[in-house]
Chains A and B, each alone.
Chain A
């Protein structure tokens, strides 16, 4: 158990819909990352938050948004869903602010299927 909790584990929704994925980081970790892993692909970095503020952005679509709340949990919102958005979405956390060699701990992921 990494200590990072993602909900839900599985999600099936229709094209055009909007979903919210939730992540609770490990206790004490201030930095949260979101990744998208499509079938047989690597992890695409989407966005990183540190202590409630967006700090780094990767290849995140405009239809996607995220936030980190005062209690440090984070949500990834995906809207106007397309079939190509079907993927495994990972959240990871680390201590943040010069994590350095500190390990990024990953949740179990949310499997999103768009039909």
Chain B
């Protein structure tokens, strides 16, 4: 079964600094999709960034970028120029697709990010 591990339960960063959140996953599949979601105190799940496994180029969305290492099964999130509004729980997620519309979207336990002014 696919599993997603986020080894940092909590992280903190100073405003305007850079922080990296770690994520590793376990799978035997060759093609899959990886996501980072953000959950602010409102509890709404918000997509931050996504990556397809067969694409080696790391995805970037404004201040958010990933370091995808397929062989190491690692998918870390880098937040540059951290802002107070970045404070949230961050979840790494893995999606695999099977036959006939079967999809498992599996999440890690999350990393709570605090941004200090």
Contacts and interface: CB of A to CB of B under 8 A. Distances in A.
Interface stretch (B13-21, B77-85, B101-109): B101-109
Contacts of B105: 33, 45, 48, 92, 94, 104
Interface residues of B, number: 24
Nearest to A55: B102
Interface residues of A, number: 31
Given A92-B45, A106-B45, A42 B103 contact: no
A71 interface: no
B97 interface: yes
A112 to B, nearest CB: 13
Contacts of A33: 103, 105
A33 B101 CA distance: 12
B45 A56 contact: no
Interface string A23-34: 000000011010
Given A101-B50, A108-B43, A96 B101 contact: yes
Contacts of A88: 43
Interface string B84-117: 0000000100010110111111111110000000
A14 B4 CA distance: 34
Contacts, number: 74
Contacts of A35: 107
Given A42-B109, A45-B107, 13 more contacts: A41-B110, A42-B6, A42-B108, A45-B105, A48-B105, A55-B98, A55-B103, A88-B43, A96-B101, A99-B103, A100-B97, A103-B50, A104-B95
16 contacts: A2-B44, A31-B103, A33-B103, A42-B6, A42-B108, A43-B91, A48-B102, A48-B104, A50-B100, A55-B103, A56-B103, A56-B104, A58-B104, A100-B33, A104-B105, A106-B44
